[in-house]
């Protein structure tokens, strides 16, 4: 289970890094008008906001899965422990 989560984290990291790189405004020319400048900026900010919400969603899922795995491991360890006085 932990290896699957590590693979999932790696895949998400590659995705969010690529998405963030794509969302950055990589223009080599200066906009000629204020309208063009606004359009470039607003489209880049829109994609970056989406990337942030993807990241927040992933952090939520990862946290919930981590708590679930930790509670499952605690229950498994408690059930396999020998009762006191039998050793």
What would the pLDDT profile of 10-66 be if each residue is shown by its tens digit?
Answer: 888 898 888 888 877 777 778 889 998 888 888 888 888 888 898 899 888 888 888
Is pLDDT larger for residue 72 or for residue 27?
72
pTM above 0.75, yes or no: no
Alpha-carbon distance of 41 to 43, in angstroms, equals 6
Average pLDDT over residues 70-86: 69
CA dihedral 37, 40, 41, 47 (to 10 degrees): 180
Alpha-carbon distance of 43 to 62, in angstroms, equals 29
Report, in angstroms and rounded to the nearest whole number, the Rg of the chain calculated over CA atoms.
23
């Amino acid at each position: 289970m932990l290896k699957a989560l590590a693979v999932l984290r790696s895949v998400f990291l590659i995705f969010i890094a690529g998405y963030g790189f794509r969302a950055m405004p990589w223009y080599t020319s200066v906009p000629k008008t204020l309208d063009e400048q606004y359009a470039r900026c607003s489209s880049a900010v829109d994609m970056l906001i989406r990337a942030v919400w993807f990241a927040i969603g992933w952090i939520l899922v990862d946290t919930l899965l981590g708590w679930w795995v930790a509670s499952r491991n605690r229950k498994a360890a408690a059930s396999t422990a020998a009762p006191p006085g039998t050793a």
